Structure 1
């Protein structure tokens, strides 16, 4: 038995954001072609012991891989928590790689966000706004900068000191200025691309702040009773996109658009990236991407890192 055990340190050293975005694009193309099996995630309640969340996915063929991601949702905010991603050879059942840590999830979600920005935002987008400066905010920002050349990057979080430190750190990572703003409005209202990556249960922006033609990534809560963007934003959007309608269906009446005319307008990102669906998007129209986490993308990203390590061995 021979497999790769991959740590957060391996991910930091090996995985670049451009490579991660390209990997996600390939996964979306597989999904559009019906090759990537990507069911909704499942949850197992264990009472006081915890709540395990499983995401499974894979694809057939000579390069067949299958796998899963698992974590305990009860301790999602614990500084000691870990996640597990396992990758198996789909033709032999051999274990190929195991990723343990906390970094693969944000890298995967950030790369999906980057793919969405690349294919849904205006190519001439120059101002990026980010609300939320946690791990998801960082990878979303890195991915956005990997697919668009922004002249100005504005960030905001309610914790002033954390926002300042985040801006300084990301300025160094990106080798361009990242400005810490004093309010969510200042971060949002001139943005050509706006990323909301918070854990806020209430809206963090107002629809009236939004510039015509803006593209928005909604990474944080998107439920009827727990939402970082209210339904007004969806109502103003010309296009509502998500990475997985299967997960929307699994959420049922909890999802923010459920029971509204906006629900039937939701469409998947996969065929847009694959090219079989083209958005007839005018420059002044708003696009909104609901990031839910397409199953199997964690498996694809883990497999990519394992291949890179093997090639360098």
Structure 2
């Protein structure tokens, strides 16, 4: 079995290659080709969790599982809070084919999926991007957005101004577009065409009144029913699309909170990004639409990304 560490993942899995793979995976999910379990989270001591996710790409395709430990409180903050592996099986022999470090796969495939949704849902002339958050996903989302739109300005906001400046400095060294550190979320999203919320916020940090007509939002930070990044009014103003409708209905905090409050009906969730990609449902229908891609993350994305990594590694790329 091939063992692939984080450094090798970063060498092999580029946004440019991963974005179309995410598009294919989401279309397969929406067509019913794939099978996946809703994530199982086992509570541990001291607020720790163990996540188990399994899925298959369908007949003749790869299958596997993702195993992740979550340790919010740790003695050494340099150690990632999420650690794990993706195990990929060989569809021909049924044997384990490779074990891939999950943190790097998750970071790149999540940002690539958001970029894929942005490419389909954002206006063609979108150029101003706002990144709300300063963690690993903020870094990857900022870079991935450059693959699908010409970015004229990138705004960065974080609860820690020091962290926001550090992220902006890193991005300035990596990109040739202007990077601006915003003092508030409202300032960051004022006039922004593409907004990615990648925070650990427990309560909404992005409000409807701050978002201009025509903006596209990648809603990424909350992956279970509890923490919310945006308010009910913004959900109600939007054309809302899920990565998986079943998962958003079961675990999407923003959708479930807005539904429970009466701000929306169940029909407000228009469908899945895979259905938009296949042409089954409309995405953006007007220049002033506010579109939202609600990303909870799915093991199908991990398996598809791991399969690409395995193919490249086996080919000696």
User: Which residue, 57, 68, 73 being the options, matches 1:71?
Assistant: 68
Partner of 1:14: 12
Give matches, 1:120-131, under 5 Å: 120-131=121-132
Is 1:292 aligned to residue 261 of structure 2? no
Could you tell me whether the CA contact under 8 Å between 1:69 and 1:86 is conserved in 2? yes
Distance verdict in 2 for CA 1:245–1:112, change over 3 Å:
same
Counterparts of 2:284 and 2:67, CA distance in 1:
38
Is 1:60 aligned to residue 61 of structure 2? no
- The Cα shift of 1:224 comes to 6.9
Counterparts of 1:29 and 1:222, CA distance in 2:
21
- The Cα shift of 1:74 comes to 4.2
Q: TM-score, normalised by structure 2?
A: 0.90
Is 1:27 aligned to residue 14 of structure 2? no
Counterparts of 1:144 and 1:253, CA distance in 2:
25
After superposition, what is the alpha-carbon deviation per residue over 1:231-258, rounded to whole angstroms, capped at 9, x for unaligned? 1101111x11110122224338893334
SS of alignment partner, residue 89 of structure 2 = strand
SS of alignment partner, residue 227 of structure 1 = coil
- The Cα shift of 1:148 comes to 1.0
Distance verdict in 2 for CA 1:301–1:76, change over 3 Å:
farther
Partner of 1:240: 240
SS of alignment partner, residue 114 of structure 2 = helix
Structure 1 stretch 189-198 or stretch 31-40: which is displaced more? 31-40
Is there any run of 5+ residues in structure 1 with no aligned partner, and where?
none
SS of alignment partner, residue 18 of structure 2 = helix
Is there any run of 5+ residues in structure 2 with no aligned partner, and where?
none
After superposition, what is the alpha-carbon deviation per residue over 1:129-175, rounded to whole angstroms, capped at 9, x for unaligned? 11101001111112211111111111111211111111111122223
Structure 1 stretch 84-93 or stretch 187-196: which is displaced more? 84-93
- The Cα shift of 1:222 comes to 7.0
Could you tell me whether the CA contact under 8 Å between 2:86 and 2:102 is conserved in 1? no
Q: How many residues align?
A: 309
Tell me how large the CA RMSD over aligned residues is.
Answer: 2.2
Partner of 1:144: 145
Structure 1 stretch 201-210 or stretch 123-132: which is displaced more? 201-210
SS of alignment partner, residue 200 of structure 1 = coil
User: Which residue, 247, 254, 277 being the options, matches 1:273?
Assistant: 277
Could you tell me whether the CA contact under 8 Å between 2:284 and 2:291 is conserved in 1? no
Q: TM-score, normalised by structure 1?
A: 0.91
Structure 1 stretch 39-48 or stretch 270-279: which is displaced more? 39-48
Could you tell me whether the CA contact under 8 Å between 2:111 and 2:144 is conserved in 1? yes
Distance verdict in 2 for CA 1:248–1:127, change over 3 Å:
same
Structure 1 stretch 74-83 or stretch 298-307: which is displaced more? 74-83
Could you tell me whether the CA contact under 8 Å between 1:122 and 1:283 is conserved in 2? yes
- The Cα shift of 1:15 comes to 1.5
Give matches, 1:182-197, under 5 Å: 182-197=183-198
Structure 1 stretch 13-22 or stretch 45-54: which is displaced more? 45-54
Counterparts of 2:288 and 2:120, CA distance in 1:
16
